[in-house]
Amino acid sequence: MSNPLRLGIAGLGTVGVGVVRILESHADLLAKRAGRPIEITAISARSKGRDRGVDLSGFAWEDDPVVLATRDDVDVYVELMGGEDGPAKASTEAAIAAGKHVVTANKAMLAMHGQALAEQAEAGKTALKFEAAVAGGIPVIKALTEGLAGNQITRVMGVMNGTCNYILTRMENEGVPYDQVFADAQALGYLEADPNLDVGGIDAGHKLALLSSIAFGTKVNFAGVALEGIQRISTTDIEQARDMGFRIKLLGVSQLTGRGLEQRMQPCLVPVNSPLGQLENATNMVVLEGDAVGQVVLRGAGAGEGPTASAVMGDVMDIARGFSMSTFGQPATGLQDIQAAQASAPAAFYLRLTLKDAPGALHKITGALANAGVSIDRMRQYSHQDAAAPVLMVTHKTTRAELDHALDGIMATGVTLESPVAIRIEDV
Amino acid sequence: MSNPLRLGIAGLGTVGVGVVRILESHADLLAKRAGRPIEITAISARSKGRDRGVDLSGFAWEDDPVVLATRDDVDVYVELMGGEDGPAKASTEAAIAAGKHVVTANKAMLAMHGQALAEQAEAGKTALKFEAAVAGGIPVIKALTEGLAGNQITRVMGVMNGTCNYILTRMENEGVPYDQVFADAQALGYLEADPNLDVGGIDAGHKLALLSSIAFGTKVNFAGVALEGIQRISTTDIEQARDMGFRIKLLGVSQLTGRGLEQRMQPCLVPVNSPLGQLENATNMVVLEGDAVGQVVLRGAGAGEGPTASAVMGDVMDIARGFSMSTFGQPATGLQDIQAAQASAPAAFYLRLTLKDAPGALHKITGALANAGVSIDRMRQYSHQDAAAPVLMVTHKTTRAELDHALDGIMATGVTLESPVAIRIEDV
């Protein structure tokens, strides 16, 4: 059996502790599978004294992750601190510069600096792997870069933020409004310190940007993701969607079009009997479409100690087995710098308007829609006690540009009390 | 860019032609991803003259696959002829002996000779890869051996024969009896030349035996798979199952128990709202459960030109990238030779009995059940014009041994006109 593979782990939160537990409980199994033992030699975290429920006494301690990352007795630097910049980025760069392989779960860092880090790693012939950064325990990076490597990928879709899906599921199942479920989720510790990372779609957008790069051979372009959160989704929207046979999901969609790379992370209506529509609670799902394979759907836990540690260990095992590949599945220097494109394919949209209860209001709205060339498939107006009249519609298929034109026209009528809610109905 | 990787392909049916098409249309993309060109140098098939819709004039032709497999200008032998023995096995052995890597879609050959072939390949330090042999385009071998390599796998389940799932789906959706759907499937060319490979569960059993080996580090043991086909499933069974919130699937289940390796490929009732229960038509699904990752579900096309060729190309790309690993995820010589175990965990069972319409018949049946310690959760007897009275029951949870005891007792009463149909209700 060959020399052990030696890990230095920075960050001992949930995931870090999960990795320690796997290495402790499965040492023999991992050695058999990898052909060599895998050991932790050194660790680093914010607080040395804290009891994490695992025995860390056998590992060297470093206060500074940069020092940890460059130790002579570390072959693989496992970065589990998180954060787009700061110590995570500094230590990752230091590790690569010192010729170490890097395994990270840090989607924010990669979404912002992935191109530069991948180029650095490839120049230094070290591995930079990040299975744990996207969709937790689901081995989706591996499926895309390796299993489906014979395909031209045509579309990638995914529900990749478990917290948002949990909120939407509870709103649907219990009829509880967004604010209340949000407060519960916060109390339960399901939300990031900055909740906008979750409910604003940023976290899921980071993941989508990484998948796009691999799928289409393009440079990571998080700024090019059309982002929209779930904050404005109401139980009315959810009920109306269900009445029509749909569920609302925070759905990421990425595809190459003739006009550039389209990346969207926004609430969508999907058919209730599709795999995406059936997804409940915090589970994640990624749908990969390739020209040869057709549609492959992957479903699993998107977060949590075990699932995320499992993904980290998948990367570690690849390195232990000597599998060496470009970070994004092809050399980073050759990735295309492609422009961002708005959604171009026409789609039907669900619209919710809140109108002043005044004569002619609905007439003005339908006029604005007609002006923009948007035609109405279905419409409902609800009876109401107060001065606000909710109106719900589904349009026929239209482009986003036409819809935006219609929405501008609707706002200009002066009869709306809130800006309209528009949700795309996605063909999945 | 390094030297090209040179393929010799034996077998130019649907899958072989699919591989030729991918290599032809995606040459640049594959070279970018693999870091080297991938080329076909030589081919072999039964009929040289047949028009396959692709241009084969640039490739050397060999009548004998053994000669093809050992050509100097072949680095990877791609075996797509099929067949448990004969030319497939002879050429695979010859390729390995000549130091070639082998990629195959041949589940039958691997289920019967996988252990010997893997040992031969590992001794010769060549790769023997078979992603295309299990669940078509779904990269499940890769997910299990690599992505989930940090897990102790606890259970593997799967619907892995598209033809059986197509038959069961049509029986349910159209209420058409088995014999008629079977005849349609045969006319459409969906069935193997020996249809028992499909409807008898043998093909799916081969796949399960391969997954078990990888999941649990045990020697491939196809003989240890408890096999039962779908031939006796009636539309009555399907309707009754649906009434109770279940669908009937030809489901493979494999798990390690204290008494050995349990492998079953048999019709089961699964909840209609579970991912497995929602699977329709020819789509395949594999459910992987690991101690860290929890449940990961993979879904995709289980057969066909594109999907299967995609899987073959995934293996070819791994070899092109220099990824080298034991066939079953750990050295074949170290795989455990474990005994086969019967299902041990108690389960509820669905029973359909056909009784003589005679006084006391039902009393004798309930007596046989009581004698064996099997208690009844629900029962229905149908009105009938002829002398055969169908009786349907669902038992409380019981072991398979107790159930078999009860079934023996039921047969011994002499009041049954057919042997009982017993279908396990699976916890998925």
Tell me the C-alpha to C-alpha distance, in Å, between residue B178 and each of A235, A246, B230, B396.
Answer: 45, 33, 9, 28
A residues 54..93 contacting B (CB < 8 A): none
Distance CA A392, CA A353 (A): 6
CB contacts of A329 in chain B (<8 Å) are 33
Task: Give a yes or no: residue B379 inside a domain.
Answer: yes
User: Which chain A residue is nearest to residue B293, measuring alpha carbons?
Assistant: A307
Tell me the C-alpha to C-alpha distance, in Å, between residue B4 and each of A281, A325, A347.
Answer: 47, 17, 44
User: Do B330 and A137 lie within an 8 Å CB cutoff?
Assistant: no
User: Do B317 and A139 lie within an 8 Å CB cutoff?
Assistant: no
Q: Kindly write down the DSSP assignment for every residue of B269-299, as one continuous string.
A: EEETTSTTTT--TTEEEEEEEETTTEEEEEE
Contact B96, B26 (CB under 8 A): no
Distance CA A414, CA B8 (A): 71
A166-200 pLDDT per residue, tens: 999 999 999 999 999 999 999 998 998 899 999 99
- Per the structure, the count of domains in chain B is 3
CA distance A357 to chain B (A): 43
Pairing of strands B348-356, B388-395: antiparallel
Range of the domain at A360: 348-425
Distance CA B15, CA B310 (A): 9
**Amino acid A80: pLDDT:** 98
Distance CA B130, CA B117 (A): 12
Distance CA B230, CA B266 (A): 8
User: Which chain B residue is nearest to residue A18, measuring alpha carbons?
Assistant: B292
Quick check: A203 pLDDT over 90?
A: yes
Instruction: Answer yes or no: do A149 and A276 share one domain.
Output: yes
User: Do A150 and B314 lie within an 8 Å CB cutoff?
Assistant: yes
Tokens representing A114 are: 């992935």
**Amino acid A123: pLDDT:** 97
CB contacts of B30 in chain A (<8 Å) are 149-150
Strand partners, B298: A298, B286
Amino acid at site B65: P
CATH code, domain with B227: 3.30.360.10
User: Do B324 and A324 lie within an 8 Å CB cutoff?
Assistant: no
Instruction: Answer yes or no: do B178 and B256 share one domain.
Output: yes
Q: Kindly write down the DSSP assignment for every residue of B347-386, as one continuous string.
A: BEEEEEEEEES-TTHHHHHHHHHHHTT--EEEEEE---SS
CB contacts of A147 in chain B (<8 Å) are 131, 139, 142-143, 311, 314
**Amino acid B1: pLDDT:** 55
CA distance A213 to chain B (A): 13
Does the interface ipTM go beyond 0.90?
Answer: yes
Task: Give a yes or no: residue B330 inside a domain.
Answer: no
Q: Domain boundary at B59, B85, B104, which?
A: B104
Closest partner residue to B294 among A139, A145, A301, by Cβ? Answer: A301
Mutation target for B interface from A30, A36, A146: give the one with most B CBs within 10 A. A146
Residue A159 touches partner B, C-beta closer than 8 Å = no
CA distance A249 to chain B (A): 18
User: Do A18 and B316 lie within an 8 Å CB cutoff?
Assistant: no
User: What helix, strand, coil percent values describe chain B, rounded to 5?
Assistant: 40, 25, 35
**Amino acid A84: pLDDT:** 94
A56-88 pLDDT per residue, tens: 999 999 999 999 999 999 999 999 999 999 999
Contact A46, A65 (CB under 8 A): no
Residue B271 touches partner A, C-beta closer than 8 Å = no
Quick check: A269 pLDDT over 80?
A: yes
- Average pLDDT of chain B? 95
Instruction: Answer yes or no: do B176 and B285 share one domain.
Output: yes
**Amino acid A1: pLDDT:** 55
Instruction: Answer yes or no: do B244 and B180 share one domain.
Output: yes
- Average pLDDT of chain A? 95
The mean-pLDDT minimum among A198-202, A408-412, B381-385 falls in: B381-385
**Amino acid A358: pLDDT:** 83
CB contacts of A311 in chain B (<8 Å) are 147, 293
Residue A324 touches partner B, C-beta closer than 8 Å = yes
Strand partners, B158: B252, B286
The helix or strand, by DSSP H or E, that contains position A110, with its residue range, turns out to be: helix A107-123
The mean-pLDDT minimum among A45-49, A331-335, B208-212, B252-256 falls in: A45-49
Q: Domain boundary at B301, B335, B360, which?
A: B301
Instruction: Answer yes or no: do A99 and A26 share one domain.
Output: yes
User: Do B149 and A296 lie within an 8 Å CB cutoff?
Assistant: no
Instruction: Answer yes or no: do A95 and A202 share one domain.
Output: no
CB contacts of B329 in chain A (<8 Å) are 33
Residue A316 touches partner B, C-beta closer than 8 Å = yes
Burial class for A141, CB neighbours closer than 10 Å (0-12, 13-18, 19+): buried
B residues 18..47 contacting A (CB < 8 A): 18, 22, 26, 29-30, 32-35
Residues whose CB falls within 8 Å of the CB of residue B173, separated by 6 or more in sequence, listed in order = none
Instruction: Answer yes or no: do B40 and B162 share one domain.
Output: no
User: Do A299 and B296 lie within an 8 Å CB cutoff?
Assistant: yes
User: Which chain A residue is nearest to residue B131, measuring alpha carbons?
Assistant: A147
User: Do A146 and B294 lie within an 8 Å CB cutoff?
Assistant: no
**pLDDT > 70: what percent of chain A?**
100
**In this structure, how many other beta carbons lie within 10 angstroms of the beta carbon of residue B340?**
14
Phi, psi of A39 (to 5 degrees): -130, 150
- Which residue among the candidates A207, A219, A249, A356 is catalytic per the annotation? A207
Tokens representing B317 are: 């790309």
Task: Give a yes or no: residue A269 inside a domain.
Answer: yes
Task: Give a yes or no: residue A315 inside a domain.
Answer: no
Mutation target for B interface from A14, A32, A273, A293: give the one with most B CBs within 10 A. A293
Residue B152 touches partner A, C-beta closer than 8 Å = yes
User: How much is the average pLDDT of B49-57?
Assistant: 93
Instruction: Answer yes or no: do A409 and A360 share one domain.
Output: yes
Task: Give a yes or no: residue B54 inside a domain.
Answer: yes
CATH code, domain with A82: 3.40.50.720
The mean-pLDDT minimum among A159-163, A348-352, A386-390 falls in: A386-390
CA distance A158 to chain B (A): 14
Distance CA B217, CA A386 (A): 67
Tokens representing B230 are: 């779908």
CATH code, domain with A388: 3.30.70.260
Residue B125 touches partner A, C-beta closer than 8 Å = no
**Amino acid A343: pLDDT:** 82
**Amino acid B103: pLDDT:** 98
Beta strands in A74-125 (DSSP E): 76-79, 101-104
Instruction: Answer yes or no: do B17 and B83 share one domain.
Output: yes
CA distance B41 to chain A (A): 18
Pairing of strands B246-257, B260-271: antiparallel
Residue B149 touches partner A, C-beta closer than 8 Å = yes
Instruction: Answer yes or no: do B92 and B182 share one domain.
Output: no
Contact B161, B204 (CB under 8 A): yes
The alpha carbon dihedral of B171, B177, B180, B183 has a sign of positive
A324-382 pLDDT per residue, tens: 899 999 999 999 999 999 887 899 999 999 998 888 999 999 999 999 999 999 998 87
B182-241 pLDDT per residue, tens: 999 999 989 988 999 999 999 999 999 999 999 999 999 999 999 999 999 999 999 999
CB contacts of B31 in chain A (<8 Å) are none
B352-373 pLDDT per residue, tens: 999 988 889 999 999 999 999 9
**Amino acid B70: pLDDT:** 98
B129-169 pLDDT per residue, tens: 999 999 999 999 999 999 999 999 999 999 999 999 999 99
Q: Domain boundary at B239, B272, B301, which?
A: B301
Task: Give a yes or no: residue B321 inside a domain.
Answer: no
Tokens representing A176 are: 């509880």
Residue A173 touches partner B, C-beta closer than 8 Å = no
Per-residue pLDDT band at B39 (split at 50, 70, 90): very high
Mutation target for B interface from A1, A14, A33, A286: give the one with most B CBs within 10 A. A33
Tokens representing B385 are: 């014009």
Task: Give a yes or no: residue A387 inside a domain.
Answer: yes
Mutation target for B interface from A78, A151, A318: give the one with most B CBs within 10 A. A151
User: Do A273 and B278 lie within an 8 Å CB cutoff?
Assistant: yes
CA distance A2 to chain B (A): 14
Task: Give a yes or no: residue B338 inside a domain.
Answer: no
Q: Is A207 a catalytic residue?
A: yes
User: Do B143 and A147 lie within an 8 Å CB cutoff?
Assistant: yes
Instruction: Answer yes or no: do A280 and A180 share one domain.
Output: yes
Instruction: Answer yes or no: do A193 and A276 share one domain.
Output: yes
